[in-house]
Amino acid sequence: MTEFEYYHTFETILYGLAFASLFTGASRMVIYSKQIKFYWVHVLAVLTMLFTLVEAYFSMYRIQEYFGGSYGTDTKWLFFFVKVAPVGVLYMGIMTLFPDDWNHPIDFKVLFEERDRKILSYLIAFPGVLLIRNVIVFFPERDSLEAIVSADPFFSIIVPPVVFIVLALIAMFHSRRHQLVEIIFITIFVYITWLMSMPAVLPQ
């Protein structure tokens, strides 16, 4: 077993838990559909999480290809930020999208409004850990902000997380927080579907 396979296996387990949580919640939405009042933003959020998981899963090997080695083995902190933190935050974010008790009528708009601050906190945390990961992985030799900004992948892998963090922070403290959450999810959904259209980088 190579180093990449060893660390990749652990990361795959985490993705399995996240996918299982998402599909369990979605299946219960179908099972209890007669007592559920659906909400289009919630459905969009579930689809966004699904596509984000798929895109993040395929990014595991793309990161390895870019770095040219088994990244994540230098230190345990490096392993945490590159391998564990992104999918861990996604998993916790997925848990906020579904109710704890399905044995009573559920209005997903009410649930969404009650948890919008928690959802926003994950919309800040996930791009945040992605930002840290991308700086660690794609800019290992650049130790200044000017060097990072001038690098080729800056606008494609650094700017989007920063934009989403800023939007979520504005929404967190805005009086029309819920309307801004809708806009953020629409924006992320469009961005993720664009990423999904790109060819996957797979092991040869």
Higher pLDDT pick, 99 / 179: 99
Higher pLDDT pick, 174 / 203: 174
Higher pLDDT pick, 179 / 138: 179
Compute the distance between CA of residue 138 and CA of residue 140 in angstroms, rounded to an integer.
6
Structure tokens, 84: 């564990």
Inter-CA distances, 94 with 99, 119, 144, Å: 11, 9, 35
DSSP structure class, residue 35: G
Structure tokens, 186: 């629409």
Work out the average pLDDT over 117-124. Answer: 89
Work out the average pLDDT over 129-144. Answer: 72
Structure tokens, 11: 């990361």
User: 164 pairs with which residues across the strands?
Assistant: none
Residue 21, pLDDT score: 93
Mean pLDDT score of the chain? 80
Residue 106, pLDDT score: 92
Least confident of 24-38, 83-97, 131-145: 131-145
pLDDT in tens, 2-30: 666 666 777 788 889 999 999 999 999 99
Compute the distance between CA of residue 7 and CA of residue 4 in angstroms, rounded to an integer.
5
Structure tokens, 116: 């919008």
Contacts of residue 104, Cβ cutoff 8 Å, sequence gap at least 6:
35
Compute the distance between CA of residue 187 and CA of residue 164 in angstroms, rounded to an integer.
9
Work out the average pLDDT over 136-140. Answer: 69
Higher pLDDT pick, 155 / 204: 155
The highest-confidence range among 143-147, 149-153, 158-162, by mean pLDDT, is 158-162
CB atoms within 10 A of CB 202: 9
pLDDT in tens, 170-198: 888 887 777 888 888 888 888 888 878 87
Q: Where does residue 101 rank: exposed (0-12), middle (13-18), buried (19+ CB within 10 A)?
A: exposed
**Annotated domain spans of the chain:** 3-196
Residue 46, pLDDT score: 93
Q: Are 78 and 72 in contact (CB under 8 A)?
A: yes
Higher pLDDT pick, 68 / 175: 175
Helix (H) or strand (E) holding 107: strand 106-107
pLDDT in tens, 30-60: 999 999 999 999 999 999 999 999 888 877 7
Work out the average pLDDT over 70-85. Answer: 67
Work out the average pLDDT over 115-130. Answer: 88
